[in-house]
Amino acid sequence: MRARPSDEPPYIDLVKLAEPQAVPIAPANRRTLAEEVLVVLALSFLASAAYAILSILEAPIAGVRVASVNQSSQLARQLLGFVFGLAPVYLVWHLVHRTREGLVGIGLDGRQPRKDVVSGLVLFAVVALGGIGIYLGAVALGVNRFVVPVPPLGHWWTVPVLLLNAALAALLEEVIVLAYLVTRLRQLTWTPWAAIGASALLRGTYHLYQGWGGFAGNLAMGLLFGWLFVRTRRAWPFVIAHFVLDVAAGVGFLLFRDRLPGF
């Protein structure tokens, strides 16, 4: 057999190239892989696809334009926002199950429901007493914006969506910023107060859109929540307290908005 000259292009077996290649062995079982695919898509393009479907239904390319401001359309967008907003929480759930820690590893198991609810309501009372005064005082001093804590007004679904939004905010912040982050930082050998401080600083920072009052109030709340979480290793009380805080703020706005600054 003659040797191929160095300048001759390499031979490519197109038949072999077209044959299906073996898929690498999966590192986990089918259910785990399915969950992984779902959470990755939910955090990337699945939401875009869902909103695109809603958009094309609101305004068909051909024919008479359907009004995009009707209540059904707005409610659908609110519900999609809730479903896809939970994707990071689902990611945490997936990760702790994949590492075999389970929800018990971040204090989100259901072993103490009554104690968790009572603790959450006590936390709500403590935070609400100081937090509302600080918030309104900061608004009055001009160092904080007044944030409307409710979805669009004047709809039959205003209050139900308010409850969904409160649940979403409570789960996102307390599962990710408190339970997951503090747990992982401690596993990375951070000291308790370093982990608590990092979590609280992050909480305060993403509330800076409200102003310096929002930053200071949430930083203080983050320090309190972090300290209690490290001591108790329970996360549900903080989810419950946060949920009730947001619901109370929304209902309070609906009832007393005519007496609030700027309204």
Residue 111 carries which side chain, given as an amino acid letter? R
Residues 6+ apart with CB under 8 A from 122: none
Residue 244 phi/psi, 5-degree rounding, is -65, -35
Same domain, 213 and 123: yes
Domain boundary among 47, 77, 100: 100
Claim to verify: residue 41 and residue 138 sit in the same structural domain: no
Last residue of a domain, one of 100, 122, 148: 100
Which DSSP symbol is given to 209?
G
Query: Is 80 domain-assigned?
Result: yes
| Same domain, yes or no: 96 and 115 | no
Least confident of 107-111, 132-136, 233-237: 132-136
Last residue of a domain, one of 100, 118, 146: 100
Say if residue 135's pLDDT is above 80.
no
Query: Closest Cα partner for 215 from 162, 138, 124, 108?
Result: 138
CA separation (Å) from 29 to 32, 96, 99, 103, 167? 5, 15, 13, 19, 31
pLDDT in tens, 35-66: 999 999 999 999 999 988 988 887 765 555 54
Indicate whether 196 and 115 sit together in one domain.
yes
In a domain, residue 203? The reply is yes
Tell me, yes or no, whether 160 lies in a domain. yes
Per-residue model confidence as pLDDT tens digits over 225-237: 999 999 999 999 9
Same domain, 114 and 45: no
User: Is 186 among the domain residues?
Assistant: yes
Give the residues across from 211 on adjacent strands. Answer: 144
Domain total of the chain: 2
CA atoms within 13 A on the CB side of 149: 23
What's the 3-state SS for 16-77? Answer: HHHCCCCCCCCCCCHHHHHHHHHHHHHCCCHHHHHHHHHHHHHCCCCCCCCCCCCHHHHHHH
Could you tell me if 51 and 120 lie in one domain? no
Q: Is residue 83 part of a domain?
A: yes
Same domain, 86 and 115: no
Q: What is the pLDDT of residues 137-180, one digit of tens each?
A: 766 676 666 667 788 888 899 999 999 999 999 999 999 999 99
* pLDDT average, residue stretch 179-183: 97
Same domain flag for 86 and 119: no
Q: What contacts 63, CB < 8 A, 6 or more positions away?
A: none
Same domain, 245 and 147: yes
Average pLDDT over residues 17-33: 65
88/124 same-domain check: no
Q: Is 19 domain-assigned?
A: no
94 with 128, same domain: the answer is no
Whether 153 and 205 share a structural domain:
yes
For residue 71, what pLDDT is reported? 72
Count Cβ atoms below 10 Å from residue 62 Cβ, excluding itself.
4
Does residue 13 lie within any of the structural domains? no
In the chain, % of residues over pLDDT 90 = 57
Range of the domain at 232: 110-263
Model's pTM, two decimal places?
A: 0.83
% of the chain beyond a pLDDT of 70: 77
- CA separation for the pair 125, 142 (Å, rounded): 26
Handedness of CA 51, 53, 57, 61 (dihedral sign): positive
Instruction: Give the rounded distance of the alpha carbon of 102 from its chain centre.
Output: 19
